[in-house]
Amino acid sequence: MDYLTVIQILDSALRLATPLLLTCLAGLFSERAGVVDIGLEAKLLAAAFLSGAVAHTTGSIWIGLGAGVAGSLAFSMLHGLASITFKGDQLISGVALNFLAAGLTVVIGQAWFKLGGRTPSLTPDERFSSWEPSFTEAMSHIPVIGPAADELIAGHTVLTYIALAAVPLSWWVLFRTRFGLRLRAVGENPSAVDTAGVSVVALRYAALVIAGVLCGLAGTYLASLAAGFVKDMSAGRGYIALAALIFAKWRPWYALYATLLFGLLEAIGNRYQSISVGDFVIPVQFMQALPYILTVIILAGFVGKAIPPRAGGQPYVKER
Amino acid sequence: MSKMPKWADAVLIPLISILLAFFFSGLVIMAIGKDPIVAIKTMVQGAFGSTQGIGYTLYYATNFIFTGLSVAVAYHARLFNIGSEGQATLGGLGVAVVCLAVPWPHWTLALPAAMIGGAAFGAAWAFIPAYLQAKRGSHIVITTIMFNFIASALMGYVLLNVLKVPGSMAAESANFGPGAHLPTFHEMLAPFGINFNKNAPANVSFLVALLACVVFYFLIWRTRLGYEIRAFGQSDTAAHYAGINRVRIVIIAMLISGALAGLMAINNVMGEAERLIDNAVEGAGFIGIAVALMGRNHPIGIFLAAILFGFLYQGGAELAFWESIPRELIVVIQGLVILFTGALDNMVRAPLEKLFIALDKKKEA
Amino acid sequence: MSVQTDKGRQETAAPTASAPAIELRGISKAFGPVQANKDISIRVEKGTIHGIIGENGAGKSTLMSILYGFYKADAGEIFIDGQKVDITDSQAAISAGIGMVFQHFKLVENFTVLENVILGAEDGGLLKPSIAKARKLLKQLSDEYELSVDPDALIEDLSVGHQQRVEILKALYRQADILILDEPTGVLTPAEADHLFRILDGLRAEGKTIILITHKLREIMESTDTVSVMRRGEMTATVKTAETSPEQLAELMVGRKVLLRVDKAAATPGAPILEVENLRVKDDQGVERVKGISFEVRAGEILGIAGVSGNGQTELLEVLGGMMDGTGTIRMNGEEIDLTGKYSDGKSRRARGIAHVPEDRHDEGLILEFQAWENMVFGYHNAPEYQKNALLMDNAGIKAMTQKSMDKFDVRPPNPLLEAKSFSGGNQQKIVLAREIERNPDLLLIGQPTRGVDIGAIEFIHQQIVALRDEGKAILLVSVELDEIMSLSDRIAVMFDGKIMGERLPSETNEGELGLLMAGMTGEDA
């Protein structure tokens, strides 16, 4: 494995980590507010479909982005309706939404474009273009640093940079602002927030709005990268993001590290069908399963205990 | 303070929820420019209009009974097992191993052995999440989701590297021997002079599924184990007071759950495909969630819900064929059913409760 | 009580002409079919401590939650300082100058004291300035009112008494003029409770108005200026504390003269049934809750364990009942029983002849969703007489047995098919008691036998306990109600901070002496 290959794998890892990171941060806001969200997958799919469809129809990825975010938000609000307003089971609601999105995107897609549930391919104009600043171009001849700058710093679309910026921003919002204090409190002990005169319902909906927007960005990223929507294109990324969230112990910076790790695993898996370590061959399926296996190990508490927000998963009901 | 009569809780609420789910499904059909009435007619005709349709409907229903019972038994212990899909996948491996390892002389010998194989593999796959929940407090919903993905990767590996027939391109196992062939409805009903369609995949597994419903009822409501599972599910603190062992109940409930999911493989792997193929479960494990929710975790409800989903699956296939409505419409309906019967339960329940209280007051006055 | 208190009282006596700090007019509230508050009106003068007393479930907490905007009243009006206010939510209550200290604290466990104090009352969108301001103000407040607490400590690291101070600080930080405290001493040691009342006196001296909700007559008599009595959702009387007596209040609370004396013959203790030596128990957090206690309970006697709740009684019962692990030696009928939890649980304890009526019947003693007949074998469901054959339970037989037990224990309604949650507190307790007594145990562990139980059922339950003793059974009674301990016990042991402070005979002690022991003071100290 030469240096350039390493750089290329890292570049690919960053590319693959972007939607995971955005989705993971979406889950972070939602779960920090006490709303468990296994419907991340649904939001990703809805956003990928709508952004792909609308970008093709209007010819603008930016309008597509708006549509994708709107679609993701709609699912977020449905989750809120079930789990906040009607105090339903958050897990069941998430499962239901995942099916709803998986079905609706294909049914509507077929009725719309008659392409078996796909959307038409997006032209380069209908996709996000990557950022190619002149300085990395100029640097590309410098050995070692040049290729790294060219592949890693440059060459990504705006959403990757937004995702990276979202990490410190999320940290700052959660731990340095009034909103963040209240949001974390509502995920730990909603009755403390309620008796302090702050609306639990509004805070939880606000968290779901943020989650909806972030998932909308992530879904649009998928559609733009793949030049259109195909059936089930999120391919379990919503669940991997959920795994990354546990891995990250519900913290923004750790979310970055966890999603980069998972992105790296996927990148390696994509590049090599099998990896030989001495006489032993690691099958590609093992690489695919590795994020899930790692998450189970973390969940088992063998490597540091992940303690979720205490009020997570429970609808808030005033005590009598 | 019970605010509602029992029948309303057991029948009225699920009924209203399902009607709501179907109403919105109808809206979806209209939104894509089709006629819901024609769609329903096509589905009913396709699912019940011929012995072939019925055979498919019951074949699907058999799968869903097993996975529905699987989800339900865990739910009685307040464990949300989203892993029936993975457990059924591993059950398929267990059934395939049993069927391929021995040249079975007759299905009556092969079936019990395959049941043991499927149940054992399914239970084993449920064991790790169960153990982690019981001993380490790892949330079973998340671990079972992870295990679904791991199961799928494992299956991909086994099919490609272990079970694949050398020289074949397809990632699937060899065909099972003739001794492992399960009687289909066509073969079972022929002696009675009934001519059931030859191609329909419904087979003797359907009867095993019915038997499983009966066993499930006795297990949950008539045995000490069932008593303890329900007691633990209602209140783990009270169960602890009574000396009911938490760890034991969590693990046993999940083992039974995994075994029931694994049993499904006698239908789809042994009864229908007669070989192990990739993604043989086709989401039946997830449908088990909808079936259990709709059936209120009771075997009669689960049976009826499984038949309904069998109808939707078969009818959905007909829709795709005749009306060019994608099969994914069924996934939409499934999502709506889970949403309304599960997550939005209070939306239906709260107004009804108010109604019954108002009626009560009127009676008193 | 200090001089300050008297001054406070004099001040309040004079300005009756001015508007009351709080006035409620015709407040009603129903939860579904249950009428929690019926047409309630009270006036509380400024700068006084007003007590609201009543049994559990009398509607005290509901009324105060309405005042705090936690629930919306179905009817009625609220006036603060003579102004009609519309308290739609807690924010409105806070703006009206009302602060509330709930029975179960509303604190975020893994936040610091400061973070909890500013939550919902921050200055601006950023935390830093808010925290700095709160730190300064907190210092002032804690100096002023003896409310010292480390501002940077996490709540989960604080003692219960300190957590309560944080709740009071929260209210004061929001500039509350009216402070409502709901059963504030239930979780406090006597020393902590004394400290609390000193704080309240100080607040009254500053002109704050305080509403104290409690079911403890002594607290009302010692610390309030006026008192209202609630019974079954209605306000039965409001009187000046100085002009009433505990007996009168008790009668108002329950609606008729209370006979807390139980008719019972002198005990004739036999052989020791339960022997406890140097028992130690640690909770989940590794904190030692029972610190090396020894005692015995003989056949035919009731040993009462008195003490403020949270001094190790719960853990003692749970270890004896097989629900917690401990170290030391426990012998049942002379045979040692396992305390490691490895070979023992509730089931094995029952097999040894230990029956257990737990303190918390909702979360432990009963499965509320189960029907009465299912609850009637709970814990004994493995017993051979309840099995039909090797596989199935004898459900029909259990239902018939339940019917008999319900008749015998006067459970109303006597319907075995009713879910446990449909019974009143007293009838629920009778179901638990019937189940445990009918198994004919050698030892009965019974915790808070009459908590949340109506007065009629209390007498019946007390009679059953005495009857069991007269049959020659050993009974270990744990109760925070001193009256109950005094009237039922043949011997009394007092627990404080995980230790037994002393043992007394009811005939040779009085509430004063027991109260001192409960506060951790032995005879020599006092």
Nearest CB among C347, C364, C369 relative to B237 is that of C364
For residue A159, give the nearest of A270, A10, A291, A44 by alpha carbon: A44
Where are chain C's structural domains?
A: 3-97+177-254, 112-176, 272-518
Interface probe with B: pick from C343, C345, C427, most Cβ of B within 10 Å: C345
Q: What is the nearest CA distance from C366 to chain B, expressed in angstroms?
A: 7
Counting residues of chain C whose pLDDT is more than 90, the rounded percentage is 61
Fold (CATH) for C272-518: Rossmann fold (3.40.50)
Angle between helices B51-76 and B246-263 (to 10 degrees): 170
Q: What is the pLDDT of residue C17?
A: 53
For residue A312, give the nearest of A236, A258, A246 by alpha carbon: A246
- Asked if A289 and B150 come within 8 Å (Cβ–Cβ), the reply is yes
> pLDDT tens for residues C214-248?
877 778 888 999 999 988 888 988 999 999 887 78
Q: How far apart are CA C183 and CA C20, in angstroms?
A: 23
Nearest CB among C110, C120, C126 relative to A198 is that of C120
- Asked if A177 and C119 come within 8 Å (Cβ–Cβ), the reply is no
What phi, psi does C502 have (nearest 5°)? 170, 165
- Asked if C393 and B224 come within 8 Å (Cβ–Cβ), the reply is yes
Chain C hits for B238, CB-CB cut-off 8 Å, are 363-367, 378
Local confidence band at C165 (pLDDT 50, 70, 90 cut-offs): very high
Chain B hits for C436, CB-CB cut-off 8 Å, are none
- Asked if C364 and B231 come within 8 Å (Cβ–Cβ), the reply is no
B354, part of any domain: no
Q: What is the nearest CA distance from C95 to chain A, expressed in angstroms?
A: 9
Nearest CB among C90, C130, C170 relative to A194 is that of C90
- The nearest alpha carbon in chain A to C125 belongs to A178
Q: How far apart are CA A185 and CA A203, in angstroms?
A: 10
Q: Give residue for tokens 């239908």.
A: B267
Chain C hits for B223, CB-CB cut-off 8 Å, are 391-393
> pLDDT tens for residues A286-296?
888 888 898 88
The residue with greater pLDDT, C254 or B21, is: B21
Strand extents, DSSP E, B11-129: none
pTM for the predicted model, two decimal places: 0.86
Q: What is the pLDDT of residue A317?
A: 84
Nearest CB among B138, B153, B286 relative to A285 is that of B153
The residue type found at A289 is A
Counting residues of chain A whose pLDDT is more than 70, the rounded percentage is 98
The single-letter DSSP state of residue A118 is: P
List the domain range (segments joined by +) for residue B325. Answer: 11-22+53-346
Chain B hits for C32, CB-CB cut-off 8 Å, are 1, 3, 353, 357
Q: What is the nearest CA distance from C219 to chain A, expressed in angstroms?
A: 24
Q: How far apart are CA C475 and CA C297, in angstroms?
A: 7
> pLDDT tens for residues A141-165?
777 777 777 778 878 899 999 999 9
Contact of B240 with chain C, judged by CB distance below 8 Å, is answered with: yes
Local confidence band at C351 (pLDDT 50, 70, 90 cut-offs): very high
The structural domain count of chain B equals: 1
Supply the CATH classification number for the domain C3-97+177-254.
3.40.50.300
C80 Cα distance to chain centroid: 30
Chain B hits for A269, CB-CB cut-off 8 Å, are none
Contact of B153 with chain C, judged by CB distance below 8 Å, is answered with: no
Chain C hits for A180, CB-CB cut-off 8 Å, are 127
Task: Tell me which H or E stretch contains C180.
Answer: strand C178-182
B352, part of any domain: no
Local confidence band at B277 (pLDDT 50, 70, 90 cut-offs): very high
Q: What is the pLDDT of residue C16?
A: 46
- Asked if C68 and A320 come within 8 Å (Cβ–Cβ), the reply is no
In this prediction, residues B91-95 reach a mean pLDDT of: 97
Q: How far apart are CA C29 and CA A123, in angstroms?
A: 64
Helix (H, G, I), strand (E, B) or coil at A131: coil
CB pairs under 8 A between A and B: 157
Q: What is the nearest CA distance from C8 to chain B, expressed in angstroms?
A: 46
Q: What is the pLDDT of residue C256?
A: 54
Q: What is the nearest CA distance from A175 to chain C, expressed in angstroms?
A: 8
Contact of B345 with chain A, judged by CB distance below 8 Å, is answered with: yes
- Asked if B240 and C366 come within 8 Å (Cβ–Cβ), the reply is no
Which chains contact B through at least 3 pairs of Cβ atoms less than 8 Å apart?
A, C
Contact of A297 with chain B, judged by CB distance below 8 Å, is answered with: no
- The C residues from 356 to 385 touching B (CB cutoff 8 Å) are 356, 358, 360, 363-370, 374, 378-379, 381-382
Chain A hits for B154, CB-CB cut-off 8 Å, are 285, 289
- Asked if C367 and B244 come within 8 Å (Cβ–Cβ), the reply is no
Q: What is the pLDDT of residue C258?
A: 53
B38, part of any domain: no
Chain B hits for C370, CB-CB cut-off 8 Å, are 230-231, 234
Q: What is the pLDDT of residue A33?
A: 97
> Residue C298 has which token pair?
């003989």
B327, part of any domain: yes
Nearest CB among C71, C90, C125 relative to A195 is that of C90
Q: What is the pLDDT of residue C2?
A: 37
* Per-residue b or e along A206-232, where b marks 16 or more CB atoms closer than 10 Å to that residue's CB: bbbbbbbbbbbbbbbbbbbbebbbbbb
Contact of C221 with chain B, judged by CB distance below 8 Å, is answered with: no
Q: What is the nearest CA distance from C123 to chain B, expressed in angstroms?
A: 38
Chain C hits for A184, CB-CB cut-off 8 Å, are 108, 111
- The nearest alpha carbon in chain A to C88 belongs to A197
Q: What is the pLDDT of residue C525?
A: 46
The 3 state secondary structure assigned to C238-294 is EEEHHHCCHHHHHHHHHCCCCCCCCCCCCCCCCCEEEEEEEEEEECCCCCEEEEEEE
Q: What is the pLDDT of residue C101?
A: 93
Chain B hits for A106, CB-CB cut-off 8 Å, are 326, 328, 331
3-state helix, strand, coil in chain A (%, to 5): 70, 5, 25
- Asked if C392 and B223 come within 8 Å (Cβ–Cβ), the reply is yes
> Residue C72 has which token pair?
């919306």
The single-letter DSSP state of residue C21 is: S
pLDDT above 70: residue C50: yes
Tell me which of A110-119, C15-24, C125-134, C494-503 is least confident. Answer: C15-24
> pLDDT tens for residues C375-414?
999 999 999 999 999 999 999 999 999 999 999 999 989 9
CATH of the domain at B264: 1.10.3470
Give how far Cα A19 sits from Cα of A39, B53, C42, C192, Å.
15, 43, 60, 54
With a CB cutoff of 8 Å and minimum separation 6, the contacts of C88 are C69, C72
> pLDDT tens for residues C355-368?
999 998 989 999 99
> pLDDT tens for residues C417-475?
999 988 888 899 999 999 999 989 999 999 999 887 776 788 889 999 999 999 999 99
Contact of C350 with chain B, judged by CB distance below 8 Å, is answered with: yes
Q: Edge-to-edge strands of the sheet including C499-504?
A: C354-357, C443-447, C474-478, C302-306, C491-496, C499-504
Chain B hits for A234, CB-CB cut-off 8 Å, are none
Stated length of chain C: 526
Task: Tell me which H or E stretch contains C230.
Answer: strand C226-231
Contact of A100 with chain B, judged by CB distance below 8 Å, is answered with: yes
> Residue C136 has which token pair?
């300064």
Task: Tell me which H or E stretch contains A208.
Answer: helix A200-225
- Asked if C94 and A197 come within 8 Å (Cβ–Cβ), the reply is yes
Interface probe with A: pick from B344, B345, B346, B349, most Cβ of A within 10 Å: B344
> pLDDT tens for residues A189-223?
999 999 999 999 999 999 999 999 999 999 999 99
pLDDT above 80: residue B210: yes
Local confidence band at C76 (pLDDT 50, 70, 90 cut-offs): very high
Nearest CB among C363, C378, C393 relative to B237 is that of C363
Contact of A239 with chain B, judged by CB distance below 8 Å, is answered with: yes
- Asked if C378 and B224 come within 8 Å (Cβ–Cβ), the reply is no
DSSP B33-45: T--HHHHHHHHHH
Contact of C440 with chain B, judged by CB distance below 8 Å, is answered with: no
* Contact (CB, 8 A) for C479 and C485: yes
The residue type found at A282 is I
Interface probe with B: pick from C352, C370, C394, C423, most Cβ of B within 10 Å: C370
* Contact (CB, 8 A) for C103 and C163: no
Q: What is the pLDDT of residue C286?
A: 78
Radius of gyration for chain B, computed over Cα atoms and rounded to the nearest angstrom: 21
